[in-house]
Amino acid sequence: MTQYDVCVLGSFMKDLVARAERRPLPGETLHGTGFAEFLGGKGVNQAIAASRMGARTAIVGTIGDDRYGEEFLELLKTDGVDTDWVVRHPELGTGVGLPLVLPDGSNSIIIVSRANSAITVADVEAASPVLTSSAVLSVQLELPVEASRAALRLASAAGVTTILTPAPAGPVDSSLAAFVDVLVPNEVEAAALTGLDCNDSQVPVIARRLADEWNLRGCVITLGPRGAYVLDRVAGVELRVPAHAVATVDTVGAGDAFCGSLAASLATGTTLADAVRLANAAGALSTTMNGAATSCPDRSAALALLDS
């Protein structure tokens, strides 16, 4: 019997967001047009997204023994996310992210992991009760690969559906593939994994290659304003899910809103294609608000956009 619908192993990042008309040139000091602080990190974003979509959700990760850490615990508690398996590091501070957001909503982000980098395999193994009693485990690559591998291995052995977001983009440890059911890269990450340009004609080729190389049940490539592409090997389905037309102000966290929603839907037994349709709506809505975790929509709002 599952205790949780979704468990997320992931990062905690306090986002210090600057806005500017453009990116600065090397050596240039550029006046910004705005500044704000938000709570984020891929783990936190996905956990809150899953919870707001109605999933019983827990999170596993490491924060600092500082003010930012307290803010995260308060936020997660407010959103109904179980934090019993969050470790507080006595010396390293909570992770920080430094996004730069341009007028069109696009962004570039520098992250400083701090306490996130201190999570150990022992910490993950101590969280085995929640990792193995959830319907779905969602993992990203902002934590040490040893911790991610341990969590995926434990969950996979217990029959938990495992989702990996291979972000940030870059080389991925091939040993993770044996424990992943559904891979969810964006177009940059998909290109980094395959060496292929993720244009419209190549997207199906990339999805099939990743599914074959990783022996996946499913591969979902998120394409931003071009929607998403779904390959479900179990159901024998391949299709493109179109994007939603929304007033985008900030794309930070949109991919995490998508993945958290996807995990929540898969936990209920929804097909991968239908889960992607709802996740696509959730990701679109998240871009209409500033911030990352705070911009995740609830299930009713995502369903309303999908129905419209």
**Domain map of the chain by residue range?**
4-23+35-307
Q: Which residues contact 68 (CB under 8 A, 6 or more apart)?
A: 12, 14, 39, 93, 94, 96
Report the pLDDT value the prediction gives residue 307, as an integer from 0 to 100: 87
**Tens of pLDDT, residues 5-44:** 999 999 999 989 899 999 999 999 999 999 999 898 899 9
Count CA atoms within 13 Å of residue 293 on its CB side. 28
Taking a C-beta distance cutoff of 8 angstroms, is the pair 241, 284 a contact? no
State the DSSP code for 116: G
From 82, 123, 250, 256, active-site residue? 256
Rg (CA), the chain: 18
Report the pLDDT value the prediction gives residue 236, as an integer from 0 to 100: 95
Pairing of strands 107-112, 95-101: antiparallel
Report the pLDDT value the prediction gives residue 42, as an integer from 0 to 100: 92
SS3 percent helix, strand, coil of the chain, rounded to 5, is 40, 25, 35
- In this structure, the chain runs to a length of 308
Report the pLDDT value the prediction gives residue 149, as an integer from 0 to 100: 97
Taking a C-beta distance cutoff of 8 angstroms, is the pair 243, 284 a contact? yes
Report the pLDDT value the prediction gives residue 1, as an integer from 0 to 100: 58
| Residue 256 is among the residues annotated as catalytic for this protein | yes
For domain 4-23+35-307, the CATH class is alpha beta
Report the pLDDT value the prediction gives residue 251, as an integer from 0 to 100: 79
Taking a C-beta distance cutoff of 8 angstroms, is the pair 168, 142 a contact? yes
Residues with pLDDT less than 70, the chain = 1
- CA atoms of 136 and 265, how far apart (whole Å): 10
**Tens of pLDDT, residues 245-263:** 888 887 778 999 999 999 9
Beta strand segments in the chain, E:
4-9, 13-19, 34-40, 57-64, 82-89, 95-101, 107-112, 134-139, 161-164, 182-183, 218-222, 228-232, 237-241
* Residue from 166, 196, 169, 199 nearest 182 by CA: 166
